[in-house]
Amino acid sequence: MADRYEKEIPIRTVRSSRKNSWDAAADICVLGAGISGISAALEAAALGRQVVLVDGLPALGGQAVNSIIGTFCGLFSNGPNRFQLTHGIADGILKDLGAKGALHHNVGPMTTVVYYEEVALARWIEHKVREAGITVVLGAVLRNCSLENRRITAIELATRYGDVRIKAQGFVDASGDAALTYTAGLPCREPDVPLYGTQMVVLEGIDEAHVPKRDAFDKRLWEKADQYGLARKRGVVFYSPGRGTAVMNLTHVETPLEPFAASRNALIGRDEADKVVAFMRAEYPEVFAKAKVRSYGLPGIRQTRWIVGAHHLTVDEVRKGTHFPDAVGRTSWPIELHDRVEGYVWETFGDDHIHTVPLRSMLPADCDNLVAAGRCIDGDAAALSSVRVMGPCIAMGAGAAHALDLAGAGSVHKVDLDALRERLRDNVGHEHARAA
């Protein structure tokens, strides 16, 4: 036969005599490749910095891709004349995914949510990271961190291939769990009560012509949740017009910082999601009778551990619409606190309301070259519930990159705020807002 195999593949026999290890050096090392870490890495690379991007998963995108969140929240202001609050990589995502038909804007009475296809976002991230020349280390678990004279000098990682040591001038903790800050021995905060995450599910094959009205759906879910064994009685389904798919945000799962419980709860979350699917099929057969689960996301996490920063963002500052002099991002997203199993707090703001995220809440007080970005910045639980969504997380990532770039070998606590504001003007200044 023409395709007959005729040549042996060379194979060698090996035996470990030493532990494999690799070293890398960078200007900026970003721990966490979710949306805030991706924003930080791409922004730092655009500034000409050499960047190493690390994540514990074997893929980029963090929860934005792998937990199938499916929605960009907090990108736009409220009111009838809504405009985009966060730019940077958000501009590229909206433009490129929009051109592919992989986005849908849902303009509600109080908020604007952008639905996206997670596969399209994943590929966008992968292409941009490669184009930027960023060094990537995936499937890496943080083992140790060297902190000397208020500066992190290096981090040590474990991978399936061996150990990796990364030295850098500056570091971004975009881990979501303040993993870098915690490993460095710096103080962190943890909630005294559970803050619930969500097991997201994508259903395909739905009949869009009979999608239930939101108010009627909310009422039926609340009345019949116990009948179907559902823990959560308030939630939302995101429908993608013209695609016959829906992303379900209808479960509540505890997300403890303990390996056995976290692993067990990941399985419990999928069982909860299956009960939700059974509820949808039984109560709305005209919509979901032929639907099937296309994919289960990784467990979605809202809040676990966060840093003790130079400033503790409070819910009062969020409600007052405080505009901090060291603001790096802004949002109008409601307080969305998932602190109860059956539902959540949903406190919306008025048309003109905008609150900001201060750089000081991203800076561990006792370190000069570490900036947190994303859901692990400092604040009370209610304040964080408003600023941990995708829009302000993108802005925080960009702010972290610029703060480290401006600090250089100095301290991020002493950066030139005028220079920082000028660099971040599109994400903090009203005069540069563009209509949605």
What pLDDT, in 10s, does the model give residues 93-125? Answer: 999 999 999 999 999 888 999 999 999 999 999
What pLDDT, in 10s, does the model give residues 108-167? Answer: 888 999 999 999 999 999 999 999 999 999 999 999 999 999 999 999 999 999 999 999
Pairing mode of beta strands 236-240, 151-159? unpaired
Assigned domain for 4 exists? no
- What would the mean pLDDT of 218-247 be, rounded to a whole number? 94
Same domain, 178 and 56: yes
Residue whose C-alpha is closest to residue 134's, from 160, 175, 161, 172: 172
Residue 242 is predicted with a pLDDT of: 87
Unique residue bearing structure tokens 């540069």: 432
**In Å, how far are 224, 277, 291 from 220, measured between CA atoms?**
6, 15, 20
- What would the mean pLDDT of 232-251 be, rounded to a whole number? 93
Quote the percentage of the chain above a pLDDT of 70. 96
Under a CB-based contact definition with an 8 Å cutoff, are residues 81 and 164 in contact?
A: no
Assigned domain for 387 exists? yes
Assigned domain for 418 exists? yes
Range of the domain at 315: 21-191+302-336+344-436
Residue 99 is predicted with a pLDDT of: 97
Residue whose C-alpha is closest to residue 40's, from 147, 158, 115, 129: 129
Same domain, 329 and 421: yes
Same domain, 271 and 375: no
Same domain, 144 and 82: yes
Quote the percentage of the chain above a pLDDT of 90. 92
pLDDT band at 241 (very low <50, low <70, confident <90, very high): confident
The 10 Å CB-count burial string (b at 16+, else e) for 125-144 is: bbebbeeeebbbbeebebee
Residue 240 is predicted with a pLDDT of: 86
Task: Supply the DSSP symbol for 313.
Answer: B
Instruction: Give the max Cα distance, the chain.
Output: 78
CA distance 427 to 429: 6
1 has pLDDT over 60:
no
What pLDDT, in 10s, does the model give residues 257-313? Answer: 999 999 999 999 999 999 999 999 999 999 999 999 999 999 999 999 999 999 999
Same domain, 31 and 156: yes
81 has pLDDT over 70:
yes
CATH (domain of 404):
3.50.50.60
Which amino acid does the sequence have at 404? L
To 5 degrees, how large is the angle CA 244–CA 247–CA 248? 125
Same domain, 146 and 160: yes
Contacts of 293 (CB under 8 A, 6+ apart): 201, 202, 203, 273, 277
Same domain, 206 and 310: no
- What would the mean pLDDT of 352-360 be, rounded to a whole number? 97
Under a CB-based contact definition with an 8 Å cutoff, are residues 85 and 391 in contact?
A: yes
Under a CB-based contact definition with an 8 Å cutoff, are residues 102 and 15 in contact?
A: no
Contacts of 79 (CB under 8 A, 6+ apart): 350, 351, 352
Residue 10 is predicted with a pLDDT of: 84
Contacts of 30 (CB under 8 A, 6+ apart): 37, 40, 41, 44, 51, 52, 53, 54, 171, 172, 174
CA distance 165 to 174: 18
To 5 degrees, how large is the angle CA 361–CA 364–CA 369? 115
> Would the CA dihedral through 278, 280, 286, 291 be positive or negative?
negative
Q: Edge to edge, what strands does the sheet with 112-116 contain? A: 71-72, 112-116, 103-107
Assigned domain for 377 exists? yes
Mean pLDDT of the chain, nearest integer: 94
Same domain, 168 and 212: no
- What would the mean pLDDT of 351-378 be, rounded to a whole number? 97
Same domain, 187 and 315: yes
Residue 15 is predicted with a pLDDT of: 74
Contacts of 345 (CB under 8 A, 6+ apart): 335, 336, 337, 339, 382, 385
Unique residue bearing structure tokens 């056995």: 260
Same domain, 307 and 291: no
Domain count of the fold of the chain = 2
What pLDDT, in 10s, does the model give residues 20-60? Answer: 899 999 999 999 999 999 999 999 999 999 999 999 999 99
